[in-house]
Amino acid sequence: PGRPNNVFPLVQETYPGDPYAEAAAEVVPTYFAYSGSGSVTAEVVYANYGDRKDYAYLASRGVDVAGKVVLARYGDIHCEDMVRNARDAGAAAAIIYTDAKDFGGPAAKGKQKWFPNTRWLPPSGVQVGTLYYGNGDPTTPMWPSCAAGEDCERLSMEELDASEAMPGIPALPVSGRDGETIQKAMGGGVAPPEWQGGEGAPVYRIGPGPAVLNLTYIGNDTLATIENVFAVIEGKEEPDRYVIIGNHRDAWTFGAVDPNSGTAAMLEIAERLSQLEKKGWRPRRTIIVCSWDAEEFALIGSTEWAEDNIDIIGSRAVAYLNVDISVFGPGGLVPRATPQLDELIQEASRMV
């Protein structure tokens, strides 16, 4: 009684003049894939970046997380680890937000400091993700899946819910604005300096309460058929040796960076290979270009293809080149590879 009530819309706002505002209106409310379903009403405990050491610190301050809703911010570890740590600490649910300190950009005088004026996340921006602690179709761990409606061995929903790979508690991603609203309602001891927000943020407190969150998430457990797409150019000298280049094409929303910057580059490569092939060129080894589906839901498309073709890949694949995110941020070349490709990457970068 007497407490202010806040309802969070879980919608990322467009900006004035946004040419894609109509399409953005069709985006579903922000959520975590594979979150546990349920309703929780409980006091909030602030857990910084949601790492294990953060829960150890809360325990040292006498803050009991059991049965509470954990509020944590992105920054140190991935969302599935954050929710898993909250569950292991006894939390009933978790809220993950994007703090302006880490994602809102440096202070800017006289102008809006976030997209579209700069590359930083707007106050209503949300980072979503998957909470499954594994790769591939969760119902077929370590063996190939099949199309929806076809007959193949799967875990039951009961087995899946009981799996350690699933989060086990309801969790939601929210914006920096929503996270700050919750922070303003927090009480308890003051959080240490390294747990605080950026310039202009309220004083962060660890709780528990007096803020109480009423969180309800009901997941839609659906089996659907996905489609990988392949293009193959057979090698002239070593047709049984495969060089594979791939990227996923699904995205949580529009995917400007992840995956479409990589997809644009991959399609340009494919077009030029096609032009060369029409002129009579053939590569030394077989080239396979792959467009993976359902990557955002724990690398399903690529994992299931690999599980279904593991013997062939193991005996014939020479290299795999992944081009998920090829352009982002202020620039610079940041390749990641096994050491065998170090010199090749240097030679290729000199050429361009």
Burial 211-239 (b: 16+ CB within 10 A, else e): bebebebeeeeeeeebebeeeebebeeee
Distance CA(103)–CA(179), nearest Å, equals 13
Q: If you compute the radius of gyration of the chain from its CA atoms, what whole number of angstroms results?
A: 23
The verdict on whether 304 is a catalytic residue reads no
CA–CA distance from 109 to each of 106, 113, 117, 122, 223 (Å)?
10, 8, 13, 16, 50
Asked if residues 131 and 35 have their Cβ atoms less than 8 Å apart, the reply is yes
Pick the catalytic residue: 80, 295, 296, 307?
A: 295
The answer to whether the beta carbons of residues 277 and 234 sit under 8 Å apart is: no
Q: Name 278's Cβ contacts closer than 8 Å, sequence gap at least 6.
A: none
Q: What is the per-residue DSSP string for 10-48?
A: ------TT-TTHHHHTTSPPP-EETPPPEEEEEEEEE-T
Strands 285-292 and 229-233: antiparallel
CA 84 to chain CA centroid, Å, is 15
Beta bridge partners of 287: 233, 243
Q: How far apart are the first and last CA of the chain?
A: 66
Q: What share of the chain is helix, strand, coil (3-state, %, to 5)?
A: 25, 20, 55
Q: Which residues are catalytic?
A: 295
